């Protein structure tokens, strides 16, 4: 038997209070956990308990073990990587998802899981001002969404026979090529590893001075490949690159893809959410001609991990890439109902749509736009402070969204290794404060620091604190 509903209620009320206190006081913790590797394991028994433990004892370990070992993504000072938020409606949604334990593998295994996923992803499409004709599906991460998109791209020409015959040992199969910018996310390369395309068949196209893919270089790369007998199958354009949030020129790239009959996948894992802000949609012109798009609500749409949305205008091709129905999964509904298992690798599927639907309802289209707009404004303000400071400080990339790349160069220093070490030391000092957590990247050979605004609790005061710490650390 499970523990009783009364036991559940008792502890759930306590936990609800614990979570509310946590959210209220999250900034009282050091944003970055200071535990040393292995320290958490060292506090825990090596073997599982043979006798049942009380929930009181187990929950006490949340404060004793879990919180000290957590880096607090919900902390206002979390400014590293792409900051995100587990918002209140999203947390409530996750609670119910666990309790209902629905498995949306087939429509019939839980109609509401499938239909809310259709509704929530279609609401997202509308929030983003995208036209009709997009099919939406939730996955766990952008890496998986991109892998699915490129699996579909590979399946687009059924004459290649890959679904049935595979790729290994086939003299009749040309090399299949994928193109992305030199600043695309590593998930494109990992997809090539996973799908058997091979890392060397990912062509990293050169970028312009603002880190955007150069369309003429893409055209040239495709032409050179065709001359060698290779088969271009997909271009991945990024709208919000991981390092510096640059946006590839989607319109020009879409024209090339159409001309070349190549699948266009847009990686908007982070930046895509900015389409919720009507005046930012111009950045995405050309998206309407893409074949697929990924946007992660778990990055910048205030939805708790994990939740990625893959949109495609070619659901039939995606289905062909993945559908395989054994007898025991056939259902009477037939084509009348959508079975999401047909559109991806996994059979069992979490009810992720619930939290996304709740977030969209609880904030509304206007509220979402206002929050994202505010984050962009905060980032621009921070960039202005850095830009106006002089004294060796500079902003090193345009700020189209809510992320700023910047650094400090000591007077007279020209050696990149020294500059990198200096900025790494600044970052280490700032992060030791416990008040803010920033990260770094490289723009070409330039080591830079990154501040990414994406948490709903981040305010201008957070950035003032970050800027004070940065200037103190620079000496
Ligand atoms: N694409 C871009 C542009 C990203 O910035 C990231 C992660 O930061 C990813 C893909 C991978 O996202 P996920 O962690 O959901 O796989």
Mean pLDDT of the chain: 97
Q: Which CATH class is domain 361-474?
A: alpha beta
Rounded distance from Cα 306 to ligand 1 centre (Å): 12
With CA atoms as reference, report the closest residue to 144 among 281, 322, 272, 402. Answer: 322
* Mean pLDDT (whole number) for 292-304: 98
Nearest CA to ligand 1 atom 5: 242
Which atom of ligand 1 has the smallest separation from the CA of 242? 5
Nearest CA to ligand 1 atom 8: 242
Nearest CA to ligand 1 atom 12: 142
CATH 3.40.640.10 residue spans of the chain: 103-350
Rounded distance from Cα 201 to ligand 1 centre (Å): 21
Per residue in 115-146, pLDDT (tens digit) is: 999 999 999 999 999 999 999 999 999 999 99
Q: What is the predicted pLDDT for the residue at 394?
A: 98
| DSSP secondary structure, 60-113, as one string | HHIIIIITTT---TTSTTB-SSS-----HHHHHHHHHHHHH----SSSTT-HHH
* Mean pLDDT (whole number) for 428-440: 97
Pocket of ligand 1 (CB under 6 A): 82, 141-143, 185, 187, 238, 240-242, 267, 269-270, 296, 308
Bond prior to 306 in cis (omega within 30° of 0): yes
Pocket test for ligand 1, best of 78, 212, 237, 242 (most atoms within 8 A of CB): 242
Nearest CA to ligand 1 atom 14: 141
Residue 193's pLDDT band, with cuts at 50, 70 and 90, is very high
Task: Tell me the fold of 103-350.
Answer: 3.40.640
Which H or E run includes 233?
strand 231-238
* Mean pLDDT (whole number) for 245-267: 98
CATH 3.90.1150.170 residue spans of the chain: 361-474
Rounded distance from Cα 146 to ligand 1 centre (Å): 9
Residue 332's pLDDT band, with cuts at 50, 70 and 90, is confident
Rounded distance from Cα 141 to ligand 1 centre (Å): 7
Q: What is the predicted pLDDT for the residue at 133?
A: 96
Rounded distance from Cα 272 to ligand 1 centre (Å): 11
Which atom of ligand 1 has the smallest separation from the CA of 82? 8
Q: What is the predicted pLDDT for the residue at 297?
A: 98
* Burial class of residue 151 (count of CB atoms within 10 Å of its CB; 0-12, 13-18, 19+): buried
Per residue in 333-374, pLDDT (tens digit) is: 878 899 999 999 999 999 999 999 999 999 999 999 999 999
């Amino acid at each position: 038997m499970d523990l009783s509903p009364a036991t559940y209620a008792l502890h759930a009320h306590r936990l609800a209070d614990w979570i509310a206190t946590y959210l209220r006081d999250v900034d009282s913790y050091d944003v970055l956990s200071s535990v040393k590797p292995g320290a958490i394991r060292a506090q825990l028994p090596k073997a599982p308990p043979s006798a049942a433990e009380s929930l009181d004892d187990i929950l006490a370990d949340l404060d004793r073990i879990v919180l000290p070992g957590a880096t607090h993504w919900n902390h206002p000072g979390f400014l590293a990587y792409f900051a995100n938020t587990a918002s209140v409606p999203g947390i409530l949604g996750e609670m119910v998802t666990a309790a209902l334990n629905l498995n949306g593998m087939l429509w019939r295994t839980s109609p509401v899981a499938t239909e809310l996923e259709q509704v929530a992803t279609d609401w997202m499409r509308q929030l983003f001002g995208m036209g009709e004709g997009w099919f939406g599906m939730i996955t766990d991460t952008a890496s998986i969404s991109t892998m699915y998109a490129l699996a579909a791209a590979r399946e687009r020409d059924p004459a290649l026979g890959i679904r049935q015959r595979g790729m290994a040992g086939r003299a009749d199969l040309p090399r299949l090529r994928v193109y992305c910018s030199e600043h695309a996310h590593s998930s494109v390369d990992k997809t090539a590893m996973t799908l058997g395309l091979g890392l060397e068949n990912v062509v990293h196209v050169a970028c312009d001075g603002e880190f955007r893919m150069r369309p003429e270089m893409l055209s040239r790369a495709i032409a050179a490949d065709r001359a060698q007998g290779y088969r271009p199958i997909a271009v991945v354009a990024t709208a919000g690159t991981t390092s510096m949030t640059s946006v590839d020129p989607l319109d020009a790239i879409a024209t090339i893809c159409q001309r070349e009959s190549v699948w266009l996948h847009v990686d908007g894992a982070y930046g895509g959410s900015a389409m919720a802000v009507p005046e930012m949609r111009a950045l995405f012109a050309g998206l309407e001609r893409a074949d697929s798009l990924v946007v992660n609500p778990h990055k910048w749409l205030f939805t708790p991990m994990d939740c990625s949305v893959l949109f495609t205008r070619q659901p039939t091709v995606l289905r062909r890439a993945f559908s395989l129905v054994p007898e025991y999964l056939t259902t009477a509904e037939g084509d009348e109902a959508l079975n999401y298992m047909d559109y991806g690798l996994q059979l069992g599927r979490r009810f992720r749509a619930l939290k996304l639907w709740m977030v969209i309802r609880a904030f509304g289209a206007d509220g979402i736009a206002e929050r994202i707009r505010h984050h962009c404004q905060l980032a621009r303000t921070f960039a202005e402070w850095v830009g106006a400071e002089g004294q060796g400080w500079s902003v090193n990339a345009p700020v189209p969204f809510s992320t700023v790349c910047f650094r400090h160069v000591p007077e007279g220093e020209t050696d990149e290794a020294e500059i990198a070490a200096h900025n790494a030391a600044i970052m280490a000092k700032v992060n030791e404060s416990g008040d803010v957590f920033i990260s770094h990247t490289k723009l070409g050979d330039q080591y830079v620091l990154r501040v990414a605004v994406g948490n709903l609790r981040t305010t201008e005061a957070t950035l003032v604190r970050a800027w004070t710490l940065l200037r103190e650390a620079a000496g």
